[in-house]
């Protein structure tokens, strides 16, 4: 019965300890979730999409129907010189054609003969058609087309900005993890150095060891203290660096407590969360940077078409059917107003220069796209190779750690039977510490390689 009670107490202590460990762990998934949701720069990046939507609405506004009215009256010396009222309702359409309905009325003894109208006023319904310039493309058409492409550019830029924030946040988390593991390693070896120092001192007191051994283990003890102090300072800085990326919903910055520690095993978690676990299936297709450049090319193509259209002469023809309001149902096609407007610059120097500049901008964007596509392709291939190489190095170094640990264990047994020295024991331990630090560094480099690939792809999802 007593054994059962002891077993229960043992299990209870371990369960409580395990719960506390889980509570004090800030996992990478929780951390990156906070960054995605609350970081000010992520919120700022989302404004790009809102801004592009506003620009699209502005461009669509050029096609809004418009009501216009103008009224002027002059009274002088008890005489009504004139009273003129003009109103219209205009509907701009896609191909530069404008539909217009109007009502005009004028009265007075000094009305301009041109404005003399029937007593009930005059209504008109008409259409204006650009025959040359502005028919197939015009300023408002071009602006709307470009605004739609800017939507895609804004989305790609938003993805790149969010990716950059998540990349920097992840780098900081890895620095924190590396610093935490180094400090933990130095702390463990400091405890070993203290135990060995106390053992050697007692052995010297008993006459089993020479006095010089106390100097040897004392040097090692102080070296371990110095290394731990440096590691703790590095950990403190890394903790503050990570805190830069933690915010609340009301833009209040958070600070990581000393009791929190990073996730232990990120080799599976990080690639899964970044959707780049299988690096061999990753390609350059749909990279946000290339999407942005491709849409900019389309924007410049629209600008080129608009400038080419301006080489055509301006020729507009308008027709308006006229009728009195009371006789609107009696069609008289003899009552109308027509107009033709023509203009054409003789040398077209301004128009030809603008077209040339538009072509240069388009060529420049196409060159940038070709270069960036090749650059991203090569980066991806290099980073894939880097990931595979670091994975191999990490596996080899873990074998070295196991071998150094075996050598240290054997040296400790020899030291216990008096067939080794403190110098050899410290030498074996230093080799093991160096290999373990190398493992921590390689783990960090391996995960950073994944992050570099993630940044190149530029997809924050």
> How does pLDDT run across 183-238, given as a tens digit for each residue?
999 999 999 888 888 887 887 777 777 777 778 888 888 999 999 999 999 999 99
d(CA 134, CA 144): 14
Percent of the chain whose predicted confidence (pLDDT) is above 70: 92
> How does pLDDT run across 33-62, given as a tens digit for each residue?
899 898 898 888 888 888 888 988 989 888
Same domain, 319 and 210: no
> How does pLDDT run across 240-297, given as a tens digit for each residue?
999 999 988 888 888 888 888 999 888 888 888 887 766 556 777 778 999 999 999 9
Residue 324 has a CB neighbour count (10 Å cut-off) of 16
Q: Which domain holds residue 120?
A: 60-135+311-346
Q: What is the pLDDT of residue 331?
A: 64
Same domain, 173 and 67: no
Residue 349 has a CB neighbour count (10 Å cut-off) of 9
Same domain, 194 and 262: yes
Same domain, 336 and 371: no
> How does pLDDT run across 51-99, given as a tens digit for each residue?
888 988 989 888 899 999 999 998 888 888 888 999 999 999 888 899 9
Residue 265 has a CB neighbour count (10 Å cut-off) of 9
> How does pLDDT run across 285-313, given as a tens digit for each residue?
778 999 999 999 999 999 999 999 999 99
Same domain, 322 and 400: no
Please tell me what DSSP assigns to residue 253. Answer: B
Report the CATH number at residue 428: 1.20.1600.10
Same domain, 191 and 234: yes
Structure-token pair, residue 461? 């999802």
Average pLDDT value for residue range 12-28? 53
Residue 452: pLDDT over 90: yes
Same domain, 207 and 179: yes
Q: Beta partners for 337? A: 320
- Tokens 């609405």 -> residue: 57
Same domain, 229 and 169: yes
């Amino acid at each position: 019965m007593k054994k059962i009670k002891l077993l229960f107490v043992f299990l209870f202590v371990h369960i409580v300890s395990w719960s506390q460990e889980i509570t004090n762990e800030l996992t990478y998934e929780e951390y990156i979730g906070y960054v995605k949701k609350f970081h000010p720069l992520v919120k700022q990046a989302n404004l790009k999409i809102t801004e592009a939507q506003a620009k699209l609405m502005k461009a669509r506004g050029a096609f809004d129907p418009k009501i216009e009215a103008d009224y002027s009256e002059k009274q002088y010396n008890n005489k009504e010189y004139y009273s003129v009222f003009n109103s219209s309702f205009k509907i701009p359409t896609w191909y530069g054609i404008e539909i217009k309905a109007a009502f005009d009325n004028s009265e007075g003894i000094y009305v301009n003969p041109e404005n003399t109208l029937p007593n009930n006023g005059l209504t008109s319904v008409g259409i204006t058609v650009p025959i040359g310039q502005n028919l197939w493309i015009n300023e408002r058409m071009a602006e709307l087309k470009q605004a739609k492409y800017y939507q895609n550019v804004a989305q790609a830029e938003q993805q790149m900005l969010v990716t950059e924030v998540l990349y920097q946040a992840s780098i900081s988390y890895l620095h924190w993890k590396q610093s935490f593991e180094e400090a933990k390693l130095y702390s463990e070896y400091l405890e070993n150095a203290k135990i060995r120092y106390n053992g050697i001192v007692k052995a010297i007191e008993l006459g089993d060891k020479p006095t010089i051994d106390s100097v040897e283990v004392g040097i090692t003890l102080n070296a371990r203290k110095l290394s731990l102090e440096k590691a703790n300072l590095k950990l403190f800085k890394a903790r503050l660096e990570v805190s830069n990326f933690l915010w609340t919903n009301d833009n209040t910055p958070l600070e990581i407590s000393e009791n929190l520690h990073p996730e232990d095993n990120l080799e599976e978690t990080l690639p899964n969360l970044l959707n780049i676990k299988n690096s061999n299936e990753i390609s350059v297709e749909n990279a946000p940077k290339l999407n942005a450049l491709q849409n900019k090319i389309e924007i410049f193509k629209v600008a080129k078409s608009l400038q080419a259209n301006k080489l055509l002469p301006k020729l507009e023809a308008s027709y308006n059917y006229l009728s009195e309001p009371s006789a609107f149902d009696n069609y008289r096609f003899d009552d109308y107003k027509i107009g033709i407007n023509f203009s054409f610059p003789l040398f077209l120097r301004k128009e030809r220069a603008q077209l040339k500049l538009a072509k240069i901008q388009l060529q420049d964007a196409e060159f940038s796209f070709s270069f960036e596509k090749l650059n991203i392709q090569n980066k991806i291939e290099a980073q894939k190779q880097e990931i595979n190489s670091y994975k191999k190095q990490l596996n080899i170094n873990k074998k070295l750690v196991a071998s150094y640990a075996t050598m240290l264990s054997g040296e400790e047994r020899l030291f216990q039977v008096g067939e080794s020295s403190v110098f050899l024991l410290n030498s074996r331990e230093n080799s093991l510490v160096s290999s373990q630090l190398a493992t921590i560094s390689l783990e960090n480099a391996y995960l950073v390689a994944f992050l570099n690939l993630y940044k190149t792809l530029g997809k924050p999802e």
